[in-house]
Structure 1
Amino acid sequence: MTSSVHPPRPGPGGSSPDKLAFTLPSGRRRVTPARFGRESRRDRLLPQLIRNCLLDDAEQCVQVRLTAADAANPAARALLDTEAGTALHLHRVLDDTEYAALFPRIIGYELDTAEPFLLYAAPRGIAAARTHVMAATDQQRFTRDLMLALCLLDGLGLVPRGLSPATVLWDGAGVQLWGLEAVTRTGRPRSPWGRQPFCSPEQRQGQGFTDARDAVWSAAQVLYRLVTGRTGPADRAPADLGEHRVLDQTLRQAFAPRAADRPTPAQVLDLVAPGAARRVRLTLPPDEMRPHREAFEDSLRLKRQAPVARSEDGSGAAAGRGTGEVLCPYCLETIQLDLTKLFITDSRMQYKPLDLAGIKNPVRRNDVMRGAVQKCTADADFPEHFIPVPYLTYGRPLTVAMVGQSSTGKSHLLTQMIAAVTDGGLEPFGLKWQSVNPEQHARFVRERVQPLRSGQVLDHTAALGLDDFARFVESLLITDARGQVRPVAFFDLGGEDLVRTDAALRFLLGVDALIFVVDPALALPLPQLDHVRERWGVEVNRDGDLAFGTVLDRLPKNGPYLDVPAAIVLGKADLLRFQPPVDRWLNRPPATALDPALTHEESRDVYGLLRRHAGQAWLRPFDAIRRCTLHIASATGGQEAHGRYPAGAGPRRVLEPLLALLAMHGLIDVAGGAEAFAVGETPVIEAVPWEETEETAGSGGSGGEELQ
């Protein structure tokens, strides 16, 4: 990469330039004429291409892009996403500072397209790889600038894994650090990256966790190459390091094989430019989320101090169904197993009555029962419907209801959540799954999961249900680590259409867990979402999601808080994947254990984001429900174009909300217990026992009479 950007030549016959549409770092959209030069591969081992670009016949820049073929590879898209996220983060923090020139300046980006790209201002300098030996007068300035860049990244919790002579540019006066696609967060598991000897031994082997001192090794190797004209050994200090006095005095410890034995970027910077590290720290912006995080902690403290009302079964849901009775997932009336109403499908997929009298073998009988269904006749006016027998034979199902307006992406999120379960996502947590009815589950996979994974946009689910309020989606049998089996039923609530009917109230009396889905386009007045709002024809709603209030107002309440476990999910988070704190969580690898501390941090971050930008109305479920976690998720990983997802539908963090709910119901064991997982550890001075009095006993009954 060089600093020379020549205006691209017009096409044959002076053809007019292409129109290029992209998003600016501010979040606004720009459409402008663009001409392009010849392209080349930026790194022969990486998929990104680079070419000169002229915007509006005046503004010179470079475009980094993926071809459609390369963009079909999720790993290639992830690299470009990482590069864009890092460049935008640096732009937000450093754009108006003296340090901005140390990094590429991003002009725009367009990532949710068949051929995604980034636009940068023209690079400053030429790659250090093209310099054989650097003059002694330049070495100190080069070292200072390189350490300044590393110190700034360290202050932001970032580590540049790809630092090498090819990614460090020098123009004779200053450094510019490229290779942003290789930046990762401090503390993430290391993975092999880079070339010897510029990648540290631990990074090359993929051992341990990323550390800012990984980049110090790389910087030391780059400087040794520029001072001597040759590369050093890949696992130790060069044997002739003592012959180069300044390099030896400054960077000898930087060649230590273990990161723990190397100096930090700030320590090296203070050797070459005393006091510079302190000035860097003062440059970094203050923590604007602090008051919102403190408000979150205050809310949890109030929840811990509040009296706790428990239902008869201890689940937080009200009682109301007798022994052996379950709620029909379609008509929402109570039913129980009746062996005289069983059916199986014949070769033409038609239901025919099942007579168990002739089946004496218990193994075969159990197998037949697993595929059988029972005709529900609880509501004579409801269309004919059938319930899988296993749904009726393992006790009361755990009912999980998705809440949100129809445009929030609930169908996609729930489809990917169930698909993650059936892909084995619960196994690391000691849970196993089985379909309630193999035939129905196969149809769900065929009609919902497979089309979505192939990149199709799903239609809104039209299912048999209660006036479009509670639509049954799917059910699974979950076996916990103790061998106990429980059906888990998933419903989609169209809360804005809820009417005060007996059946709707009966359903809400028995709901066991709620997932409130927040649409960022409706909740967050951020400029980068304006284009999406315009395309979808929606506006910011400062009053919150109507469906949230509709459901919350109809839930039974036995104390100061509702006690049904809940999760708030900031859905479609790919729209905000470069926005703090979403960028911190969305790309985290899938969890293999539930860490209460991480769940607490994620909840606090999402609470802070919504409180700061959306307002308290969007946090009403958290304020109303005692046990409520908050999460970031994306069902598709990107936005659709012309009815398809260009990169396919790549889910991110779709299982975490369900894991939290299962933990709150005791199906997953967590450190400190389910209660502490939801509301945090309770200091002794906060403990307030619940003493039931005649007044409270009479005012919080769980029966349906008071709600009629």
Structure 2
Amino acid sequence: MTSTLYPQPEGPGGPPPDKLTFTLPSGRRRATQVRVGREFRRDRLLPQLIRKAVLDDDGQQCVQVRLSAKDAANPAARALLDTEAGTALHLHQLLGGTEYAALFPRIVGHELDTAEPFLLYAPPRGTPVERLHVMSATDQEHFTRDLLLALHLLDGQGLVSRGVSPATVRWDGAKAQLWGLESVTRTGAPRRPWGRAPFCAPEQRRGEGLADSRDAVWSTAQVLYQLVTGRPGPADRPPPDLAEHRKLDRTLQDAFAPRAADRPTPAQALDVVAPDTARRVRLALPADESPTDQEAFDAALRRKRQHPRADRPRQGAAAEAERGNGEVLCPYCLENIRLDLTKLFVTDSRMQYKPLNLKGINNTVRRNDIMRGAVQKCVADPAFPEHFIPVPYLTYGRPLTVAMVGQSSTGKSHLLTQMIAAITDGGLEPFGLTWQSVNPEQHAKFVRERVQPLRNGKVLDHTAALGLDDFARFVESLLLTDDRGRVRPVAFFDLGGEDLVRTDAALRFLLGVDALIFVVDPALALPLPQLHHARERWGVEVNPDGDLAFGTVLDRLPKDGGCLDVPTAVVLGKADLLRFQPPVDRWLSRPAPNSLDPDAVRAESRDVYGLLRRHAGPAWLRPFETIRRCTLHIASATGSQEDRGRYPAGAGPRRVLEPLLALLAMHGLIPVPGDRDALALGETPAIEWTPPEQAGVPDSGDPMRPTERNRSE
């Protein structure tokens, strides 16, 4: 039966029906007229509004859970609705078609990336336990079994409900149903205060430690105690009269333990209440396909480990720097350049360049300060428009050059913008790195034109397509300093791989690149139904032949021993499109790390490899298969999709820094336990960071000091 908590929609003569468009659990889109009833809040502490709805095209009755525009502007409220949707969809995919699906709400549809996001459910079954006064002993047994079974199913997916209470558990006379899916969190996530005593576990109420499936066992025991006695139990200890209720005492006595470690798990409690039920559930659930993917991933790593690391001299700008002549790659004309004190300029009060003459400036502090703000005119390519290079870029050794690879509209610009913003927000500090801008004026412009608009929810304009001669666009450069005081410039480029032509300049640039980030657009790579709507909006189709930019770049780089040997990250970008799809959901919900764990990096790589292997095909895995040291990552620059040119709750980046962390670790800028190549391969020696004094720049105690050769000039 349907609870009267969900009022009937307006009848004849009421307001006209609204138009509702949403995504079905299958990923398909549906548009229909809808009539809605009065709305209310199930819990005054939660932002969700609830009302009954009738879809006019077929009369289907639903419950709509939504956020008002005001609440939807709060990222925390959206996160709750996202959690609820993700849990409901995951359970639908896992349990759909089985008898166990009835233990949870059945999701009908969702629309989340909009100004007023919502979910649609089938009508709830039964009555909330808080409204029940009498239940037979047999019904209590069935109710207890169902509730523990629901917790066991969640626990099997690494999930725990923090919201089990008489208000969220329903009973229809035959089966229980657990609502309140917005309270679900991942097992092992930091506890946050949630719920009310006595139904939330003591640790949960205090927000201490890590979430544990046994938290929900405490809540279940408290619900049953109130159901049996008609009153709530103590908030932090077993009820004093528990022994008077023999069945409850026999089955769930330990569930009232004040500490989670002393309580049974859902499976252990279920085994006492209903032996063999957990085993029957395991047999009914679909088989896990991941072992095959894991075996293929491990086999790929073994093949790459057989290829020794390249030991031949590098070419291009890299070789010049290693030979000690102090040359670096100009980020604009992509020609080699070195510090020349006769070509320095500074800006005057009108921001016009004027020549800098260092003669007569003998004070070291003043000289270094002037040099930090100076630029050098680059004349390496006379045909290239006039351009200037900040002096710090030329005085700290060869810059670490990072190139983003992917065809246009893959989200590279948004991802790189958020990656740099994460650095300037201090994201590298837990890893022992601090930053400075190479060119403060240029950096301020980057923040003003890219970072701030994106953070304010504005969709960035697409960067213009690169021309045949403009295969690489310089984006930004920063100075990174480690905890030993060593400084390394890092330059970021947007590489239009599909526009690369076979010119010496292109090859010279690629040979000087130190790290590559290949950005995979899921709409182009994965033929999953939940991406159909995105493909329709953007006018694109699945491309089984892979990203043209990937192939163009990979084909230009020479192989050493069968493999390319430039540290590389492959990023499944726009991952918010798949934020409810395993394994994407697991990684997107993880908090930012404060240390680099090679096992976790490899686990993420294995999961992304499996997803691409199952759905995308070999062309999309070519960077991983071709490049010896390559990690795979999941990232979203915005956290959600735009709605009419804006991100409704602002752009909330997720895991944008992790690909760069892996690359910096492979270059020795970030320490990792054991061998640095363990990030990508699990063994073999890592490359070393070439100190400035070995890259043609003497270490005089102040890296800003010019070389003796330049001083004499």
TM-score by length of 2: 0.93
Equivalent position SS for 2:556: coil
Query: Is the CA contact 1:431–1:479 (under 8 Å) kept in the aligned structure 2?
Result: yes
Q: Which residue of 2 aligns with 1:493?
A: 495
Give the partner amino acid of 1:117.
F
Cα separation, 1, equivalents of 2:552 and 2:419: 24
CA positional deviation for 1:186: 1.6
Equivalent position SS for 1:115: coil
Query: Is the CA contact 1:463–1:471 (under 8 Å) kept in the aligned structure 2?
Result: no
Q: Which residue of 1 aligns with 2:695?
A: none
121-130 vs 184-193, greater mean Cα deviation: 184-193
CA positional deviation for 1:467: 2.6
Cα separation, 2, equivalents of 1:141 and 1:635: 46
CA positional deviation for 1:73: 0.7
CA positional deviation for 1:357: 2.0
Equivalent position SS for 2:680: helix
Give the partner amino acid of 1:64.
V
The verdict on how the C-alpha distance between 1:122 and 1:463 changes in structure 2, with shifts beyond 3 A counting, is closer
Q: Which residue of 1 aligns with 2:155?
A: 154
Aligned residue runs from structure 1 range 435-454, under 5 A: 435-454=437-456
Aligned residue runs from structure 1 range 31-110, under 5 A: 31-56=31-56, 58-110=59-111
Task: Indicate yes or no: 2:273 matched with 1:272.
Answer: yes
Q: Which residue of 2 aligns with 1:514?
A: 516
CA positional deviation for 1:195: 1.0
Q: Which residue of 1 aligns with 2:681?
A: 679
Q: Which residue of 2 aligns with 1:697?
A: none
Q: Which residue of 2 aligns with 1:393?
A: 395
Give the partner amino acid of 1:300.
L
Aligned residue runs from structure 1 range 564-583, under 5 A: 564-583=566-585
Cα separation, 2, equivalents of 1:460 and 1:14: 46
Query: Is the CA contact 2:317–2:327 (under 8 Å) kept in the aligned structure 1?
Result: no
Q: Which residue of 1 aligns with 2:29?
A: 29
TM-score by length of 1: 0.94
Query: Is the CA contact 2:466–2:472 (under 8 Å) kept in the aligned structure 1?
Result: no
Give the partner amino acid of 2:290.
M
Cα separation, 1, equivalents of 2:532 and 2:635: 20
Q: Which residue of 1 aligns with 2:412?
A: 410
The verdict on how the C-alpha distance between 1:117 and 1:70 changes in structure 2, with shifts beyond 3 A counting, is same
CA positional deviation for 1:18: 1.1
Cα separation, 2, equivalents of 1:545 and 1:327: 27
Among 555, 558, 561, which residue is 1:559 paired with?
561
Cα separation, 2, equivalents of 1:544 and 1:224: 58
Q: Which residue of 1 aligns with 2:257?
A: 256
Aligned residue runs from structure 1 range 192-591, under 5 A: 192-312=193-313, 319-321=319-321, 322=323, 323-462=325-464, 467-591=469-593
Equivalent position SS for 1:118: strand
Query: Is the CA contact 2:7–2:51 (under 8 Å) kept in the aligned structure 1?
Result: no
1:58-101 CA deviation, whole Å, 9 max, x = no partner?
11111000011111111100000000000000000111001111
Equivalent position SS for 1:112: coil
CA positional deviation for 1:531: 0.8
Equivalent position SS for 2:502: coil
Cα separation, 1, equivalents of 2:588 and 2:499: 32
Query: Is the CA contact 1:7–1:60 (under 8 Å) kept in the aligned structure 2?
Result: no
Query: Is the CA contact 1:10–1:16 (under 8 Å) kept in the aligned structure 2?
Result: no
Equivalent position SS for 2:22: strand
1:343-390 CA deviation, whole Å, 9 max, x = no partner?
122222221222222433222221221111111011000001111110
Q: Which residue of 1 aligns with 2:183?
A: 182
Equivalent position SS for 2:63: strand
Equivalent position SS for 2:462: coil
CA positional deviation for 1:147: 1.1
Equivalent position SS for 1:377: coil
Query: Is the CA contact 2:335–2:505 (under 8 Å) kept in the aligned structure 1?
Result: yes
Give the partner amino acid of 1:36.
V
1:612-642 CA deviation, whole Å, 9 max, x = no partner?
0000100000011000000000000111121
Cα separation, 2, equivalents of 1:105 and 1:311: 60
Cα separation, 1, equivalents of 2:470 and 2:640: 28
CA positional deviation for 1:559: 1.7
Query: Is the CA contact 2:519–2:572 (under 8 Å) kept in the aligned structure 1?
Result: yes
Task: Indicate yes or no: 2:6 matched with 1:19.
Answer: no
Cα separation, 1, equivalents of 2:342 and 2:644: 50
95-104 vs 138-147, greater mean Cα deviation: 138-147
The verdict on how the C-alpha distance between 1:276 and 1:659 changes in structure 2, with shifts beyond 3 A counting, is same
Cα separation, 1, equivalents of 2:637 and 2:316: 28
CA positional deviation for 1:6: 4.8
Cα separation, 2, equivalents of 1:46 and 1:637: 22
Query: Is the CA contact 1:509–1:555 (under 8 Å) kept in the aligned structure 2?
Result: yes
CA positional deviation for 1:15: 4.6
Cα separation, 1, equivalents of 2:317 and 2:363: 39
1:493-552 CA deviation, whole Å, 9 max, x = no partner?
000011011111110010000000000000000011111101100000000001001001
Equivalent position SS for 2:99: coil
279-288 vs 42-51, greater mean Cα deviation: 279-288
CA positional deviation for 1:477: 0.3
Q: Which residue of 2 aligns with 1:136?
A: 137
The verdict on how the C-alpha distance between 1:418 and 1:617 changes in structure 2, with shifts beyond 3 A counting, is same
Give the partner amino acid of 2:423.
V
CA positional deviation for 1:446: 0.6
Give the partner amino acid of 1:680.
G
495-504 vs 137-146, greater mean Cα deviation: 137-146
CA positional deviation for 1:2: 6.3
269-278 vs 558-567, greater mean Cα deviation: 269-278
Cα separation, 1, equivalents of 2:466 and 2:550: 22
Give the partner amino acid of 1:28.
R
CA positional deviation for 1:458: 0.9
Query: Is the CA contact 1:10–1:17 (under 8 Å) kept in the aligned structure 2?
Result: no
Gaps spanning 5+ residues in structure 1: where?
688-708
Q: CA RMSD in A?
A: 1.8
Cα separation, 2, equivalents of 1:565 and 1:675: 10
304-313 vs 447-456, greater mean Cα deviation: 304-313
Cα separation, 1, equivalents of 2:273 and 2:317: 64
Cα separation, 1, equivalents of 2:311 and 2:425: 35
Task: Give the count of matched residue pairs.
Answer: 681
Gaps spanning 5+ residues in structure 2: where?
686-713
Equivalent position SS for 1:514: strand
CA positional deviation for 1:464: 9.8
Query: Is the CA contact 1:469–1:493 (under 8 Å) kept in the aligned structure 2?
Result: yes
Cα separation, 2, equivalents of 1:228 and 1:212: 25
Cα separation, 2, equivalents of 1:634 and 1:9: 41
Give the partner amino acid of 1:55.
L
CA positional deviation for 1:261: 1.2
CA positional deviation for 1:213: 1.1
Q: Which residue of 2 aligns with 1:695?
A: none
Query: Is the CA contact 2:317–2:508 (under 8 Å) kept in the aligned structure 1?
Result: no
CA positional deviation for 1:206: 2.1
Equivalent position SS for 2:643: coil
Query: Is the CA contact 1:53–1:61 (under 8 Å) kept in the aligned structure 2?
Result: yes
1:280-302 CA deviation, whole Å, 9 max, x = no partner?
12222211122112100000011
Aligned residue runs from structure 1 range 600-615, under 5 A: 600-615=602-617
Give the partner amino acid of 1:621.
P
CA positional deviation for 1:465: 9.1
Equivalent position SS for 1:281: helix
